[in-house]
Chains A and B, each alone.
Chain A
Amino acid sequence: MNSRLSRVGAWLHARAENLLVAMLATMFAAFILQIVFRYVINLPIGWTHEISVILWLWIVLFGTAFVVRDSEEIRFDILYGAASDKWRRVMVVISAAALVVLFTISLPAVIDYITFMKVQKTAYLKIRFDWLFSIYGIFAVAMIVRQLWLGYRAIWGSAPEAFDPTKAGSGV
């Protein structure tokens, strides 16, 4: 049962990776298209601009929710890295609890904001903003679930991974 569950998890994770790659590739292609249209064909188009910005937002939220592993996040690790396994468990439980509480109590307001945005549409593609911004709601729920899981594992399961700063890419 457990191994089947983790197989399904790995399969889903791989599909999420596929989706992330597809989004980045599309964003890149949109940029190239935009440059070609403006400078080669001399016909500026606006929708490529819009697609790129939408995808940037989605890459960040979708990627953080479903693709980037906890050990790959950018964090401040002077204490976390030096702590013993036992202390690291305690640290994870406290931070997970704080995030779960804060994200949960703000969730209704977040959903309110997203649904409120249905009155607006994007300039070129006429996408409703509630659709576009729905990814934030998904992200918030995914973060709550993930932190619950991390906290649960820290209490009853294995100790959280020691952080490896070289896995975290900050881009500078």
Chain B
Amino acid sequence: MTLSLAFAAALGVITVLAFLGLPMGLSMISGSILYLLLRGQDMGTAAEQFLNGMYSNYIMLAVPLFILAAEFMNSGTMSERLLKWCDAIVGRFRGGLAQVNVLQSIVFAGMSGSAIADAAGSGKMMQYMMTKDGKYTPSFAAALTAVTAVIGPIIPPSIPMVLYALVADTSIGYLFLGGVVPGLLMAGLVMLQILVIARTRNFPVEPPVPLRRLPRMTWEAFPVLMMPVVLMYGIYGGITTPTEAAAVAAFYALLVSMLVYRAVKARDLYQSLLVSGKTTASIGMLIAGALVFNYVVTIENIPRSLSAMLLAWDLNPVTFLVIVNILLLILGCLLEGTTILLVIVPVLVPTAQALGIDMVHFGVVAVVNIMLGLVTPPYGMLLFIMTRISGAPMKAIVADVMPFLLGLIVALFVFTFVPETVLWLPKLFGYTPTALP
């Protein structure tokens, strides 16, 4: 595989600019312009790719809408009610609040598509509850919140899966279903680990909520608990497209917060829209930058050459997946997740296809990888956010994250080697996986 000089220069410029701190999206656009310049091609092509790519990929609109939905959920009291309900269910066990943290994240995962939003919203509240009476150390609470937020985008809906569907041209509906079992297994694994840690570190038990109060609390949390159901029914009942489901999610969260819980004022609404608008612009720039650069990568025939090279090595699918896992885990320590998903993963997709690896399986494995990257130092977005929220030093949080992270990496390899963990549910809904050659 040989790189043309122009491509090598573009890649070099992108890397250098990114290292110098220029925003990723702009770095990729700049590098692509340089490539076009060196090849003597029309530099307007960068604008053309940007504009047409953004204009013609309708499914991407799910991204701003899921961001908006999460903002609406966090600004109302939806998460608060959910936490109370979870406390009533699992608070009575040893390490109760820690288990509450996992349980709430499962329900939250079923409504939101973003790990960052989960940590900043319900995670922030969890942090407060776990540390207010000195029950848990701030670093453990922060570590656990970061780890449970990781599960968010693995259980549908999921912004990273929407992005994967975009670059790999795979059905969002089946990808979402593929994430359900792995997400639940990961949550279960974390709960088991808490059981063990709770004994050794002697975690407190919450005062048990009398069971007769449970019906009332369930009723109060009912609109929140119904949200994942509404969403999934919308998508799999064939009522809405996944993109429209994102709009429904946002609308539902807004309705519940405003009308049922009466917790959102006009000012909050404006603020939610503004924050979502800014996040949309940042992530949109990254997507667009990746679209422009991926055009360059494609005309240079990189994915094909890579695929030809790897196939010539007689690589078997399992070895390839192991290499991909290791590569993505290492990159996850250094790079921001969306960049990996939009730039690195598309280069790997053709090889995976040529090796007969199922695209839904590959997508879920890639997304789990990228989510783990959010809690791996030195660059882990969730670590930064929890350091900010908890005030605990990042080093201490990392130390408390480690046992969970190791468990989740083991889980990742199980999903890699046993495709059935991912594909079982999509198959139930009529998906036909690619047969291995």
Contacts and interface: CB of A to CB of B under 8 A. Distances in A.
Nearest to A106: B43
B251 interface: yes
Contact of B280 (A60, A77, A91, A102): A60
A85 interface: no
A31 B128 CA distance: 36
A80 B21 contact: yes
Interface string B129-166: 00000000000000000000000010000011000000
Contact of B18 (A39, A75, A99, A106): A75
A73 B388 contact: no
Nearest to B283: A171
A76 B26 CA distance: 12
Contact of A113 (B18, B26, B47, B280): B47
A78 B18 CA distance: 10
B338 A78 contact: no
Interface residues of A, number: 63
B274 A20 contact: yes
Given A68-B282, A74-B336, A95-B22, A59 B273 contact: no
Contacts of A109: 42-44, 47
A74 B286 contact: yes
Given A72-B282, A74-B23, A172-B159, A113 B277 contact: no
B244 A31 contact: yes
Contacts of A15: none
Contacts of B44: 106, 109-110, 112-113
B61 A53 contact: yes
Given A57-B55, A79-B21, A172-B159, A74 B283 contact: yes
B19 A76 contact: yes
B288 A60 contact: yes
B218 to A, nearest CB: 29
Interface centre among A62, A88, A168 (most CB of B within 10 A): A168
A95 B337 CA distance: 23
Nearest to A137: B47
B313 interface: no
Interface residues of B, number: 81
Contacts of A21: 270, 273-274, 277
B329 interface: no
Interface in B35-81: 36-37, 42-48, 50-51, 54-55, 58, 60-61, 63-68
A91 B21 contact: yes
Given A56-B284, A106-B33, A170 B116 contact: yes
A62 B280 CA distance: 11
B103 interface: no
B172 interface: no
Contacts of B277: 17, 20-21, 23-24, 59, 63, 67
Contacts of B36: 106
B235 interface: no
Contacts, number: 228
A165 B22 contact: no
Contacts of A91: 20-21
Contacts of B25: 64, 73-74
A20 B278 contact: yes
A170 B283 contact: yes
B281 A56 contact: no
Contacts of B22: 75, 95, 98-99
Given A106-B43, A136-B50, A168 B282 contact: yes
Contact of B338 (A24, A114, A172): A172
B127 interface: no
A-B complex: 5 closest residue pairs judged by Cβ atoms: A63-B281, A60-B284, A80-B21, A113-B44, A169-B279
Interface of B: 13, 17-26, 30, 33-34, 36-37, 42-48, 50-51, 54-55, 58, 60-61, 63-68, 114-116, 153, 159-160, 239-240, 244, 247-248, 250-251, 270, 273-286, 288, 334-339, 341, 370-371, 374, 378-379, 381, 384-385, 388
Given A24-B273, A76-B334, 12 more contacts: A32-B247, A54-B55, A60-B54, A60-B284, A63-B280, A68-B278, A72-B278, A72-B282, A74-B24, A105-B37, A106-B44, A171-B159
Interface of A: 17, 20-21, 23-25, 27-28, 31-32, 34-35, 39, 49, 52-54, 56-57, 59-60, 62-64, 67-68, 72-80, 88, 91-92, 94-95, 98-99, 102-103, 105-106, 109-110, 112-114, 133, 136, 140, 143, 163, 165-166, 168-172
